[in-house]
Amino acid sequence: MSHGVSQLRTDARQNRDRIVEVAGALFAERGIDVPMAAIARHAEVGVATLYRRFPTREALVSEVFAEQFAACGTVLDDALKDPDPWRGFCTVIRRVCAMQAADRGFSAAVLEAFPHLVDLEHELQRGLAAFAELVHRAQAAGRLRPDFKPGDLLVVLQANCGVDDSARLVTYLLDGFAAA
């Protein structure tokens, strides 16, 4: 998150919040490649104001999707607490795919992961380690096919990207991931 947000003047904070809100809506509708000038126009601020608050697209994307990345972390933490590792695994796949299907911008942010952003990179690495642990537990319980690799999550997300009936696809995928 941006530093010094609480120290901004009221009008500056309102502009910043409006930029984040508008960017989130445009990212959800069109993906993260929306021109920065279009975001500024929709937020009714000047391009200079947008760049003063968010000097790069990546900084804006990071701010817009910080809550969703944190929510993914919570989903993984909850799944690791589930005594049934297969149910935990299925919950992660279902909930992350549902988040992805609901917001095209988040989907792009997840798939691109902006590896050069420290905050998101840390969250991504933590999430991948948690997911790898969940995969290992579900395989050790004999519920997840042994050839599933933690990196296959990226394949799942790529397959789910832009699908009209995500829940149905996820059901088919989970059936395929179950151990025979």
pLDDT digits (tens, 9 = 90+) for 124-137: 788 889 999 999 99
Percent of the chain with pLDDT over 70: 86
pTM value is 0.74
pLDDT reported for residue 91: 96
Give the integer Cα–Cα distance in Å for 117 and 44.
27
Cβ partners under 8 Å of residue 45, min gap 6: 15, 18, 19
Is residue 73 predicted with pLDDT exceeding 90?
Answer: no
| Residue 130 Cα distances to 88, 137, 142, angstroms | 11, 11, 19
Helix 36-43, helix 57-81: angle, nearest 10: 90
pLDDT tens-place string over residues 5-41: 555 688 888 999 999 999 988 987 887 889 999 999 9
CB 34 within 8 A of CB 8: no
Which of the given ranges, 69-83, 106-120, 140-154, 158-172, has the highest pLDDT on average?
A: 140-154
What are the extents of the domains in the chain? Answer: 5-55, 61-177
pLDDT reported for residue 118: 45
pLDDT tens-place string over residues 143-165: 999 999 998 998 998 899 878 89
Is residue 72 predicted with pLDDT exceeding 60?
Answer: yes
Spatial CA neighbour of 68 closest among 27, 37, 35? 27
CB 145 within 8 A of CB 174: no
Give the integer Cα–Cα distance in Å for 79 and 160.
20
Bridge-partner residues for 178, per DSSP? 144
Is the CATH number of domain 61-177 1.10.357.10? yes
Is the CATH number of domain 5-55 3.30.930.10? no
Rg for the chain, CA atoms, rounded: 18
Give the integer Cα–Cα distance in Å for 23 and 29.
10
pLDDT reported for residue 112: 61
Q: Give me 83's structure tokens.
A: 């005594």
pLDDT reported for residue 59: 87
